[in-house]
Structure 1
Amino acid sequence: MSESKSSDSPIILRKQGAITHIELNNPKRRNALSREMTTLLADALREAHADEDCRAIVLSGRGEHFCAGGDVSAMQADRPILGSRLRIEHAHHIVRLLAAGPKPVVCAVEGVAFGLGMSLALASDVVVAAEGSSMCAVFNKVGLVPDMGLMWTLAQRVGVAKAKQLFFSAEVLDRSSAQALGLVDHGAVKGSAIDVAFGCAEQFCTAAPMPIALIKAAYAKGFGSLEDALRAEVDYQPALYLSEDHQEGVKAFFEKRKPSFKGK
Structure 2
Amino acid sequence: MSYKTIQLEIAERKATLSLNRPQAMNAMDFTMMRELAECFESLHNEKDVQILVVKGEGKVFSAGGDVKMMVASEDFSDFGLIMDTITRLVKAYYTLPMITIAQIHGAAAGLGLSLALGSDIIVAEQPSKIAMNFIGIGLIPDGAGHFFMKERLGTVQAKQMIWEGKVHNGEEALALGLIDHNVAEGMAAVAVDQLVGKLLASPILAMIETKGILHQANLSELEFILQGEALGQGKMRQTVDHLEGIKAFVEKRTPVFLGK
1:12-161 aligned within 5 A: 12-79=7-74, 83-161=78-156
8 A contact 1:138–1:167 mirrored in 2 = yes
Which residue, out of 158, 163, 187, partners 1:168? 163
Residues 129 and 220 of structure 1: CA distance in aligned 2, closer, same or farther (over 3 Å) = farther
User: Structure 2: which 5+ runs fail to align?
Assistant: 221-260
| C-alpha RMSD of the superposition | 2.1
CA distance in 1 between partners of 2:43 and 2:215 (Å) = 20
3-state SS of the aligned residue for 1:58?
A: strand
1:218 aligns with 2:238: no
Q: Figure out how many residues of one structure are paired with residues of the other and give that number.
A: 219
Q: Does 1:177 align with 2:160?
A: no
Matching residue's letter, 1:94: L
Superposition deviation, residue 114 in structure 1: 0.6
> Which letter maps to 2:159?
K
Counterpart amino acid of residue 151 in structure 1: H
Matching residue's letter, 1:162: Q
1:111-162 Cα deviation digits (max 9, x unpaired): 0101011101100110000121021111011111100001010111111111
Matched position secondary structure for 1:222: helix
- The percent identity for this pair of structures is 28
* 2:143 alignment partner, SS class: coil
TM-score, length of structure 1 as denominator length: 0.76
Letter matched to residue 65 of structure 1:
V
What amino acid sits opposite 2:143 in the alignment? M
Match status 1:207 vs 2:203: yes
Counterparts of 2:190 and 2:92, CA distance in 1: 23
Distance 1:189 1:211 in 2: 28
Q: Which amino acid aligns with 1:174?
A: N
Alpha-carbon distance in 2 for matches of 1:121, 1:60: 9
Question: Equivalents in 2 of 1:208, 1:178: separation in Å?
Answer: 27
